[in-house]
Amino acid sequence: MKNNLKFTLGLVFVSLLGIGCKKTVFEPISKQSSEQNGIRLQTALKVRAIGFQAEQDEEGVLSLKNTPANTKQFIVIADATNSQTKITKALWSAAASGNLKQITDKEVKNSLNIIPTNGLKSFKTEVFALNRALLPEELEQVKKLDRKAFKAYCEDPNKNVKILGSAVAIDPIKNIENTIKTIQRAIEKAKIAKQKAEEKFAAGNATRKSLTQAESILASHESTLAYLKKELLDRQVH
């Protein structure tokens, strides 16, 4: 089981890019300022974590953050979609204790056998926090379900089980790399906007406020980019 699970976790890992509905927000705040042409620009940055999160590394280890209170059990389900039939199939599922901060192949139980992955795409792993531990017979049913079917299973009032929260697993390094690309595109647009604002201001067709705003937006993006690059370097080193 250990080898099978580690292989499948790694397989799912290489396709993970997004955070799903849970994410980390990089938010400018008025804590530090710089001076440019007599204009004070707010460039400080804070990171605000929102909701339950699950990060998955290259070894398949899931690190959990902001787990819901009173979680009794985690159910982890990995699924993928057949590129031809468009049918989503469960690759594997596992149950782990609700007091864990990390889920590895040493802690999980009830792993499914690996199914053939030819023709499959959109691999996703999602961690569900439950208000109670499922019974052995319930786990047998869960092992056959993809993520959508499991959510429907828990919504059945006869099951008497509630999802306290869920998080689609992310690869934090890839996520930062993708965010950096997004910020870099935003910076290019902000530079163009700033240049246009300067030209309009010089021609007397714009106010100092509009120029200040354009400069502030650019400075905020540049500050965010610097933070992300440092965060990426720190993660790559460690």
Complete DSSP assignment for 124-148: EEEEEEESSPPPHHHHHHHTT--HH
CA angle, corner 49, sides to 7 and 95, nearest 5?
35
Mean pLDDT confidence for 114-132:
80
pLDDT at 14: 33
74/127 Cα distance (integer angstroms): 6
The β-bridge relationship of strands 62-65 and 53-56 is antiparallel
The pTM of the full predicted model, rounded to 2 decimals, is 0.59
Which pLDDT belongs to residue 27?
44
> Residue type at 196?
K
Q: What is the mean pLDDT of the chain?
A: 77
For residue 61, which of 72, 49, 76 has the smallest C-alpha distance?
76
How does residue 33 score in pLDDT terms, banded at 50, 70 and 90? Answer: very low
pLDDT at 112: 62
Count of CA atoms in the C-beta half-sphere (13 A) of 89: 17
Supply the pLDDT for residue 150.
95
Which helix (H) or strand (E) covers residue 120, if one does? strand 120-130
- Dist. CA 16–CA 12, nearest whole Å: 7
Q: Could you tell me what percentage of the chain is helix, strand and coil, using 3-state DSSP and rounding each to the nearest 5?
A: 40, 30, 30
Q: Average pLDDT in the 189-209 region?
A: 92
With a cut of 60, say whether residue 143 has pLDDT above it.
yes
Distance of CA 213 to the CA centre of its chain: 30
- Does the pLDDT value for residue 144 go beyond 70? yes
Q: What is the pLDDT of residues 35-80, one digit of tens each?
A: 444 433 333 334 444 689 888 877 778 889 999 999 999 999 988 8
Phi/psi class of residue 217: alpha, beta or left (left: φ > 0; alpha: ψ in -120 to 50)? alpha
pLDDT-wise least confident of 11-20, 129-138, 180-189, 227-236: 11-20
Output 135 or 14, whichever has higher pLDDT: 135
State the amino acid at position 128 in one-letter form. F
pLDDT tens figures, 86-109: 888 888 888 999 999 988 877 776
Output phi, psi for 95, to 5 deg.
-120, 140
